[in-house]
A and B are shown apart, each in its own frame.
Chain A
Amino acid sequence: MSLVGTRGLTAFYGDAQALFGIDFGLDEGEVVAIIGANGAGKSTFLKSLTGLVKVHRDAVHFDGEPIGGLPPGEIVKKGLAMVPEGRRLFPSLTVEENLKMGAFAGRSGPWTLQRLHGMFPILEQKRHEPGTALSGGQQQMVAIGRALMSNPKVLLCDELSLGLAPIVIKEIYDALPAITAEGMSVVIVEQDVSVAQRVSRRVYCFQEGRVSLEGKSDELTREQISAAYFGV
């Protein structure tokens, strides 16, 4: 039984259907990537897991219980946290306050401010600056740290590399092993296919709201991925 799973998940934005029956599974300790073009439904999928998009109760399972459509606050208390697309730091809060907000759910665990300072020293250097005064890459580190502060069992990352230079992307993904070292499971949504393949064990490819390909990252060929990505 997977740690996070969906079965036939459908999701709507108003009257428009965004997801058409997604079957998905994430096992404990795994890093799984979701790739796909813009509008394929990747972000919508993550939002369905965290309760930002309402779905059928039974469509999403986490740690054995159905959580579809629950309020986001309850889901994060159970141990599912998200680094949202576009970072979305709180402009009125400093870096440190943003991180502290992440701990609001009150879960205990190894992730503390000190540990985050160790992983991303910039978080300590700029702790009293407003979150939005940092560069894109630094903001991404704050956003990741904020999600980690809730000590989740599963971390969802939505388009970490969006708008960042390759060297910064590398710096951020280099921290991934430190995150997964104690068995945290991670789902990465990425548009950058090579990065996704490099850091994950398995890959799902979304195309127009459906899963067009699924397999082990090191076994899938470029041709297969291209075909699934563009739906040709």
Chain B
Amino acid sequence: MNFRNKIKPVLLSVGIQVSLHNLLPVAWFLCLVPAFLFPSKLAAQSEDRKQEIITIQVSASVLQSLEVVTLQGMDFSELQADQRELNIDPVLSPRAGKMVAQGSPGSSFQVTWLRNREMVNIERTGLLGIRFDVAGNYLDEQDTAEVLEPDSREYQFNEEGQFYLWIGGLVNLEDATTGAYEGEFTLEVEYN
């Protein structure tokens, strides 16, 4: 008796199939549609919740390496023995040295230099004090150049990536001995 009760649902199920005999092809089709559609939809929803993807950009702006080229040295020629000082105006004097700094067009940079230096007499004992002055211009025009200060102010390269510098200074000749002198002028250009 118990065994009969257990198999009863199976027999009932067959009975329904037989009674719906003519509708079975349609029923199969209706069963097929959700069987194809729902699993994929459920899977998509599930994946949406289960994982998340983010794409992050990594970036770097690379500038041209900086270069400073000396176009013309300072002219200390033809100094007189009784001359007490020599002032080379970086804006007005044709004796001024000339340099060009080169970098990435339009980028900003700083210029620093050692203002006070000494030149050494290479023939006999003697030092010569000099205070350097620098003027700069993004145009290659000395007379419109701006006198620069060795501070943290920013300057900009022109569209060709150039910035012109004129080097002048005040040379104290009071204690100068005769002879040839040499020294260095150090100017540093760096991107901000």
Whether chains A and B associate is: no
